[in-house]
Amino acid sequence: MGIKICKFGGTSMADGNVILASAKIVESDASRRYVVVSAPGKRFSGDVKVTDLLYQCYESVLDKNTDKFEKIFEKIQARFLSIEKEIGKDLGLQAELDEIKKRILNGESEDYCASRGEYLAGKIMSAVLGVPFVDATEFIRFDEHGLLDEKTYALGSQVLKKYNRAVVPGFYGLSAKGTVKTFSRGGGDISGAVVARALRAELYENWTDVSGFYACDPRVVNAPKWISKLSYQELRELSYMGANVLHSEAIFPVRVAGIPIRICNTFRPEDTGTYILPKVTDISLEQPVTGIAGKKDFTVITIEKSLMNAEIGFTMRLLTVLDRHGISFEHLPSGIDTISLVIDNANLRHGVLDVLVKEIKDAVNPDLLSVHTDIALVATVGHGMAKNIGTSARLFKALGDAGINVQMIDQGSSELNIIVGVNKDDFANCIQAIYNEFFN
């Protein structure tokens, strides 16, 4: 029998009762042998995730604000102690919390602080299931550039196979310097994928609070269709563009090993969930569109210059400006005499935009340079569009009929997605119009 890796997200670890429900899910299937956990997340809307509280603790130590630190740490402590009470067992959390508090006050790193939610959640799940706790620092390794080190997989297999079953805290590992290092936010999903690949699992189950992927965000479109199967590429496109069910980098470890991912709902374990499958041939291509996702807050810098097409090195000079400031761009749509840079607003804080505009003018001497700051990007994704002629015509007609002005268009050469840039006030209407065209 193959092994299943179960990763439980923050809402599945939010309080003692839901932790017990998560443990029951593990125990209901003997092949669910390795478990990866997130820190306790939100219990209700307006609640604060433990990881966010831990970041605040770090900040308050940095600001030498002891009162603030004490107040925030008290909240963290109260959450863990109430979990212990709900579970009804002495899990030794007080001693762990005392030690963590001491270390944070002694100036431990931001990543160490942030990782303690997962560490304690791992200890709790290990005690509830009665299986060993294996710390992620024992095998998840980052290289000197901060990227996941490939030796993680061999080490992970060696360390984890010593145990028939184990619980591993998600979100962190060990840096090349030997200190705790975290993945980016939501990175527990990556840890789960890493464990799945190290153990050559037959399935990576990601347990969360929704029954998989929907054709678009249910907060934008009322009761959208549920997606039963997605390909890795479709998942990557949708999650990168804002469908935040799974971390957009979680597919990389499992893709290499061809391990399917199943998104399942801890609160409705009987639901099938969504399967994310390695082979495109396993996905139906009948429907041109699989899903729609979008993100707000982009800036588009459009540069126009006559005979740009004949000016050798033009794009290189333009991109050198971004490189100099360590800024990445999302898209680079171009025409004969125009090119646009689409940049996430998060990269343009603290006056960086003005500096970029000035340096771009100096570098390429454009005829015209315009900046649009309130752009939302909406991606329509599906392998089926390559085979269904007329998909883009339908999409643009639907947007035209809805009175939406499309300010930018980008279609990936793989014919897997069509991305449009619209004013952020048109964001919801844009998604609704595309959804109505392809799903209603």
Instruction: Give the footprint of ligand ASP on this chain (CB under 6 A).
Output: 10, 38-39, 49, 51, 117, 170-171, 185-189
What's the min distance (Å) between Cβ of 291 and ligand ASP?
22
Contacts of 58 (CB under 8 A, 6+ apart): 104, 110, 113, 114
What's the min distance (Å) between Cβ of 241 and ligand ASP?
19
**137 versus 290: smaller Cβ distance to ligand ASP:** 137
**49 versus 181: smaller Cβ distance to ligand ASP:** 49
What's the min distance (Å) between Cβ of 154 and ligand ASP?
24
Report the alpha-carbon distance of residue 84 to residue 79 in Å, rounded. 9
What's the min distance (Å) between Cβ of 100 and ligand ASP?
15
Contacts of 48 (CB under 8 A, 6+ apart): 42, 75
What's the min distance (Å) between Cβ of 215 and ligand ASP?
24
**19 versus 322: smaller Cβ distance to ligand ASP:** 19
Q: What are phi and psi of 181, to 5 degrees?
A: -135, 135
Q: Where are the beta strands (DSSP E) in 131-233?
A: 166-169, 172-174, 180-182, 203-208, 229-231
3-state secondary structure of 265: strand
**14 versus 322: smaller Cβ distance to ligand ASP:** 14
* Full strand arrangement of the beta sheet holding 406-411: 338-344, 291-304, 368-381, 417-423, 406-411
Q: Which amino acid is at 132?
A: P
Which residue lies nearest ligand ASP, judged by its C-beta? 188
Per residue, the 3-state secondary structure of 329-370, as one string, reads CCECCECCCEEEEEEEHHHHCCCHHHHHHHHHHHHHCCCEEE
What's the min distance (Å) between Cβ of 144 and ligand ASP?
23
**102 versus 185: smaller Cβ distance to ligand ASP:** 185
What's the min distance (Å) between Cβ of 138 and ligand ASP?
19
**209 versus 311: smaller Cβ distance to ligand ASP:** 209
**246 versus 381: smaller Cβ distance to ligand ASP:** 246
Long-range contacts of 313-319 (CB under 8 A, 24+ apart): 314/339, 314/364, 315/339, 317/363, 317/364, 318/360, 318/363, 318/364
